[in-house]
Amino acid sequence: MLKRIELYTAGVSAEQREALLEVIYQVLRISPGMVSASGEYELQLRPGDLQEDPPVVVIAGRRFSQVTPERLRTLIASSR
């Protein structure tokens, strides 16, 4: 089953966004718009409205706020 990772970019600095994208690339080897080689994950950037407590990441429908690169690494690992 495909798990979508959505990174909401409103209210997130370029440095924060790039740090989060780097973690996703290191762990899953995907960039925005791509599906992992295993077919398990897809990454989408969502500009959207300003989110409460950014950075906001949604993984397989579950919303997480104030996500740091370290926390994102843990969230991805626990979703596998």
36: domain CATH number is: 3.40.30.10
* Domain around 70: 3-79
Cβ pair 49, 60 in contact under 8 A:
no
pLDDT confidence of residue 48: 74
Structurally, the chain folds into a number of domains equal to: 1
pLDDT confidence of residue 52: 81
pTM, 2 dp: 0.92
The count of other CB atoms within 10 Å of the CB of residue 23 is: 20
- Type and span of the H or E element at 76: helix 69-79
pLDDT confidence of residue 80: 86
Which residues does the chain have with pLDDT short of 70?
A: 50-51
